[in-house]
Amino acid sequence: MRTWLLACLLTFLGAGVATASEAPAYLSLIIDDLGQNVARDARALALPGPITLAVMPDTPHAATFAREAYKAGKTVIVHMPMDPAGGPFAWQPGMPDDELRERLVAAFKAVPFAAGLNNHEGSRMTAQPGAMALLASELQQRRLFLLDSRTSVATQAAAQAQAIGLASVSRDVFLDDERTPQAIAAQLDKAVAMARKQGSAVVIGHPYPETLTLLEQALPGLKARGVEMISIRQMIAHRGNQPRHL
Q: Tell me: the pLDDT tens digits for 20-70?
A: 446 899 999 999 999 999 999 999 999 999 999 999 999 999 999 999 999
Q: For residue 130, is it within any domain? A: yes
Q: For residue 122, is it within any domain? A: yes
The answer, yes or no, to whether residue 200 has pLDDT greater than 50, is: yes
**Per-residue confidence at 242, pLDDT binned at 50, 70, 90?**
low
Q: Tell me: the pLDDT tens digits for 68-124?
A: 999 999 999 999 999 999 999 999 999 999 999 999 999 999 999 999 999 999 999
* Pairwise CA distance, residues 28 & 194, whole Å: 12
Tell me the pairing of strands 75-82 and 116-121: parallel
* Pairwise CA distance, residues 99 & 127, whole Å: 18
Domain of residue 28: give its range. 24-239
In this structure, what are the phi and psi dihedrals at residue 155, rounded to the nearest 5 degrees?
-55, 140
Burial 91-124 (b: 16+ CB within 10 A, else e): bbeebeeeebeebbeebbebbebbbbbbbbbbbb
* Pairwise CA distance, residues 227 & 221, whole Å: 9
**Domains contained in the chain, number:** 1
Q: For residue 77, is it within any domain? A: yes
* DSSP per-residue letters across 166-214: --EEE--EES-SS-SHHHHHHHHHHHHHHHHHHSEEEEEE---HHHHHH
Q: For residue 140, is it within any domain? A: yes
Q: For residue 1, is it within any domain? A: no
Tell me, what's the pLDDT at 6? 37
**Per-residue confidence at 240, pLDDT binned at 50, 70, 90?**
confident
C-alpha distances in angstroms, 130 versus 81, 157, 170? 17, 10, 19
Count of alpha carbons within 13 angstroms of residue 137, beta-carbon side: 9
Q: Tell me: the pLDDT tens digits for 135-173?
A: 999 999 999 999 999 999 999 999 999 999 999 999 999
pTM given for the model: 0.89
CB atoms near residue 1 (< 10 Å): 5
Tell me, what's the pLDDT at 8? 40
Q: How many residues does the chain have?
A: 246
Q: For residue 68, is it within any domain? A: yes
Q: For residue 16, is it within any domain? A: no
Q: For residue 117, is it within any domain? A: yes
CATH code of the domain in which 108 resides: 3.20.20.370
SS3 66: helix
- Distant-in-sequence, close-in-space partners of 111: CB < 8 Å, separation ≥ 6: 35, 55, 57, 62, 63, 66, 76, 77, 78
Cα 163–167–168 angle (5° rounding)?
A: 85
